[in-house]
Amino acid sequence: MKRTALAFGLMLLALSLVSVVFAASTEIIIVAESGDHKPDQLTDPNGSLGQEFIAPQTFNTLVLPLPTWSTTTSGYTFILRKHGPSGEIVYQEDIRNAQDNRSIIAVGEQGVGRYYAEISKPVGSIGWWTREDVYNRGAAYANGKPVMGSDRETIIRYVE
């Protein structure tokens, strides 16, 4: 009986630890990464690439698959706007030495709502993986204008 109670107690402890680990980070894929995508390279120093999206939950991190074409010295200016492409800037950062295909940007706690993520002021080779229009709650942008029929791969996370 004691062994059964001990085993049951250990099992409950293990399950509670697993739930704590999973609760520490939640992720929502806005536009999923896909093999059927192409990199849009940002070459114009006055240009920009962006993605409008709806955050259905609070988040504090964006994961953007931005190709650097295997370089280690690429960079860009990142801007996050609330209420879409012309909304207020809620976060801005100059990113240097961007990791190829995986920019993880801590943006502070952001609530549910409409947002616009944008990269501009390219340094070296930088782009954003883009695919056919699969997200009906936002659009890809280039130089401040919507790109019909396209979305840019975007993931939001809440990390404790």
To the nearest whole number, what is the mean pLDDT of the chain?
88
> Is the residue at 9 inside a domain?
no
Which has more confidence, 8 or 86? 86
> Is the residue at 130 inside a domain?
yes
pTM: 0.84
Domain containing residue 119: 26-159
**Res. 1 pLDDT band, cuts 50 70 90:** low
> Is the residue at 139 inside a domain?
yes
> Is the residue at 17 inside a domain?
no
> Is the residue at 38 inside a domain?
yes
> Is the residue at 16 inside a domain?
no
In total, how many domains does the chain have? 1
Domain CATH code at residue 55? 2.60.120
Which has the minimum average pLDDT: 11-20, 37-46, 119-128?
A: 11-20
Residue 104 and residue 61 in contact, taking contact as beta carbons nearer than 8 Å = yes
Model pLDDT for residues 55-106, shown as the tens digit of each residue? 999 999 999 999 999 999 999 999 999 999 999 999 999 999 999 999 999 9
Residue 126 and residue 73 in contact, taking contact as beta carbons nearer than 8 Å = no
CA separation for the pair 14, 116 (Å, rounded) = 40
